[in-house]
Amino acid sequence: MAETIVMKFGGSSVADAQRIKAAAARIADRRKAGDRVVAVLSARGDTTDELLQMAAEVSESPDPREMDMLLSTGERISCALAAMAIRDLGYDAISLTGSQAGIVTDTSHTRARILDVRADRITEALDAGQVVLVAGFQGVSTEKDVTTLGRGGSDTTAVAVAAALGASVCEIYTDVAGVFSADPRIVPDAKKLGTVSFEEMLEMASSGAKVLQLRSVEYARTHGVRIHCRSSFDPGDGTIVVNEEENVEHPLITAVTHSTEEARVTLSGVPDTPGVAGAVFGALADAGVNVDMIIQNEPTEDDKAADMSFTVATEDLRDARAALDGLMEAQGIQSIAWDEQMGKVSVVGAGMRSNPGVAATVFRTLGEQGINIEMISTSPIKISCVVSADRVADAVRALHAAFDLGDDEDGAQTPHGAAR
């Protein structure tokens, strides 16, 4: 029986007419081979950023529902154009919006979550022999409004469609050859990983490796979808995200990841009474703001108030401000300070669970570079440090070298790497 496959093409892979035609040819080849093919496309090139800019030019705080009406257009353009190009190659093709494709989400505009994929229309089109192009990054809410899934959301569309169809693979075509030991734009000798485990990929995606959106990895793990990340420009064998037991590579450190879009919020004079932290983080949660690192300083003997710092993504800053402004007085918090120029660098690796010394190597390496560590957080397989945004690239390169992750001849890492 014919296999069903989902192919997702990111923004740079459909940026201009020539690339749309190249993607169309790649899609048509799979159809020609007899597969049932669904392609999920992103908006072309910088279209989403341009749409955001257009909104900013007419409104200081654009209405979220209208923002989604606007942002969802980018992906529709790509799909309609690709369908035309595929038809010219002699294959029947149909483009669908997220709503037409049956992507049902909750009502959180601009950061909606997929609740269900009612894929009947996709299945009917596949049964009729059509190639189906689904607009990524969008759906329809339970209130029947158009929603979008947050930046990078087309990855999640692709995985959700693959899960709903029981596809044998979800191929994510992008502008790099796969998942690397660090962002290859920052570390030229970063090594492409043949496989990466879900566990590590989740930590990488949550700490800034935007090659796969975090939610797409979560969704794939929950629904057992095979993700194959590869280049849309070169043939190459890419990276497969596998279950822990399938992962044959067990290095100490798998990757160094980073983000320069972190903001730090510091609350000073926080009353040292039960319930205040609950009120602060409850208000942020209600506003849909994800909090990353949290530090609280103990109050001194004569001062019954504590200081509390935490980080949020820069894109959530406005919502965080609105949520906290309404709370300061009621909770008796004295003052609030914002630092928008923060970054974060993380080392991720399942091997660190059973090997001491990784944290020491991270801190020593950053220290040698004169990079000040502002905050630290850890999980069993990740160590993250908040540093000044302008030192992030130096930090990534230094850590990548310290753990010997580079792709040189003798770069093969021993199980104990450089952490000893």
Judged by beta carbon distances under 5 to 8 A according to partner kind, the member of Mg ion, ligand ASP, ligand ADP, none in contact with residue 404 is none
Q: Which of 171, 183, 203, 316 binds ligand ADP (CB under 6 A)?
A: 183
Q: Which residues pair with 146 in a beta bridge?
A: 140
**At its nearest, how many Å lie between ligand ADP and the CB of residue 403?**
14
Judged by beta carbon distances under 5 to 8 A according to partner kind, the member of Mg ion, ligand ADP, ligand ASP, none in contact with residue 137 is ligand ASP
User: If binding is defined by CB under 5 A, does position 136 make contact with Mg ion?
Assistant: no
Judged by CB, which is closer to ligand ADP: 182, or 284? Answer: 182
DSSP state of 133: E
**At its nearest, how many Å lie between ligand ASP and the CB of residue 413?**
32
Cβ-contact 174, 8 below 8 angstroms = no
Using DSSP, state whether 116 is helix, strand or coil: strand
User: If binding is defined by CB under 6 A, does position 260 make contact with ligand ADP?
Assistant: no
Q: Which residues pair with 185 in a beta bridge?
A: none
H or E element that contains 78: helix 64-88
Judged by beta carbon distances under 5 to 8 A according to partner kind, the member of ligand ASP, ligand ADP, Mg ion, none in contact with residue 153 is ligand ASP
Which two tokens mark 405? 């992750």
Q: What is the dihedral angle through the alpha carbons of 250, 252, 255, 259, rounded to the nearest 10 degrees?
A: 140
- Please name which of 132, 142, 50 lies closest in space to residue 97, comparing C-alpha atoms: 132
**At its nearest, how many Å lie between ligand ADP and the CB of residue 185?**
4
Distance CA 147, CA 140 (A): 6
User: If binding is defined by CB under 6 A, does position 42 make contact with ligand ADP?
Assistant: yes
**At its nearest, how many Å lie between ligand ADP and the CB of residue 12?**
5
Phi, psi angles (nearest 5°) of residue 31? -65, -40
User: If binding is defined by CB under 5 A, does position 153 make contact with Mg ion?
Assistant: no
Burial class (CB in 10 A: 0-12, 13-18, 19+), 107: middle
Q: Which of 106, 175, 319, 339 binds ligand ADP (CB under 6 A)?
A: 175
User: If binding is defined by CB under 5 A, does position 152 make contact with Mg ion?
Assistant: yes
**Where are any strands of DSSP class E within 198-254?**
227-231, 239-242
The alpha helices in 245-381, defined as continuous H runs, are: 276-286, 317-325, 328-331, 358-368
Which two tokens mark 143? 């209130």
Distance CA 357, CA 377 (A): 16
Q: Which of 4, 13, 42, 99 binds ligand ASP (CB under 6 A)?
A: 42
Judged by beta carbon distances under 5 to 8 A according to partner kind, the member of Mg ion, ligand ADP, ligand ASP, none in contact with residue 12 is ligand ADP
**At its nearest, how many Å lie between Mg ion and the CB of residue 152?**
4
User: For ligand ADP, how many residues bind (rule: CB under 6 A)?
Assistant: 18
Judged by CB, which is closer to ligand ADP: 186, or 327? Answer: 186
Judged by beta carbon distances under 5 to 8 A according to partner kind, the member of Mg ion, ligand ADP, ligand ASP, none in contact with residue 136 is ligand ASP
Q: Looking only at residues 114 through 153 of this chain, which bind ligand ASP when binding is defined by CB under 6 A?
A: 136-137, 151-153
Tell me the window of 8-16, 215-223, 276-284, 306-314 that interacts with Mg ion (CB under 5 A).
Answer: 8-16
Distance CA 110, CA 65 (A): 8
Tell me the window of 57-65, 71-79, 175-183, 389-397 that interacts with ligand ADP (CB under 6 A).
Answer: 175-183
Cβ-contact 182, 257 below 8 angstroms = yes
Phi, psi angles (nearest 5°) of residue 269? 65, 50
DSSP state of 42: P
Q: Which of 6, 7, 10, 43 binds ligand ADP (CB under 6 A)?
A: 10
Neighbours of 379 (CB within 10 A): 16
Judged by CB, which is closer to ligand ASP: 147, or 154? Answer: 154
Residues that bind ligand ADP (CB under 6 A): 10-13, 42, 152, 174-176, 179-180, 182-183, 185, 209-211, 255
Which residues make up the interface to Mg ion (CB under 5 A)?
A: 10, 152
Residues forming the site for ligand ASP (CB under 6 A): 10-11, 42-43, 48, 74, 136-137, 151-155
